[in-house]
Homo-oligomer: A and B are copies of this chain.
Amino acid sequence: MSPAHPARDRLVAAAADLFYRQGIHATGIDEVIARAGVAKASLYNNFASKDELVAAYLRDALERSRRLFAECLSEPDPPSRLRSFFDRLAAGATRDDFAGCPFANAAAELDPRDPASSVLAEFDRALADFFARAIDDAPDSPAVRRLVVCYVGALHGAKVRHDPRVVADAADLALATWSRA
């Protein structure tokens, strides 16, 4: 992305892959720098601590999510926006490196008082905001909250059951709850 910081970008990319697939606590610093192909000093030149690398990883994932939301919102009407969103989730769930929602995983691992946890709350707001725009409703409306339930259930279910069909089930629920509202 920014050629001015190749080491930093390589570190975030390596961290994103490893933290997401293996978990944050289960991934050591050495493994990250080995995959990034940078020296250990480069890590501490760009980040004050592992926690800040974790935060950078989550902010990067948040940015990807925001782009995904924007693409789905370009669809013309609520049902096609929701379908577009859950179709993309389903496609992601079929990948062999799929490991659920990175924010849900991080939430289970991180101390809520950890500064990186604030990114999780940001994602939560961004997700509710996306659903609200998608169905033209308020971010705190029951319909939006039900859609959030569908999203969470879809990704976690697909993860623990290794079954992408769960995403389709959740999409059915989401479409039904919208048309019902």
Contacts and interface: CB of A to CB of B under 8 A. Distances in A.
Number of chain copies forming the complex: 2
Q: A interface, by DSSP: helix, strand, loop or mixed? A: helix
A106 B154 CA distance: 18
B145 A169 contact: yes
A156 B104 contact: yes
Contact of A108 (B104, B121, B146, B169): B104
A172 B108 contact: no
B166 A157 contact: no
Contacts of A176: 176-177, 180
The interface size bin for chain A is 35 or more
A120 interface: yes
Given A111-B26, A172-B142, A176-B177, A154 B160 contact: no
Given A104-B156, A160-B120, A176-B177, A23 B109 contact: yes
A165 to B, nearest CB: 7
Contacts of A108: 23, 100, 104-105, 107-109
Contacts of A172: 142, 146
16 contacts: A23-B108, A25-B109, A100-B108, A104-B108, A108-B108, A142-B169, A146-B170, A146-B172, A148-B153, A148-B157, A149-B173, A150-B173, A151-B153, A152-B153, A153-B156, A173-B173
Given A23-B109, A149-B170, 12 more contacts: A104-B108, A107-B108, A107-B159, A108-B108, A145-B165, A146-B169, A148-B166, A149-B149, A152-B152, A153-B153, A173-B177, A176-B177
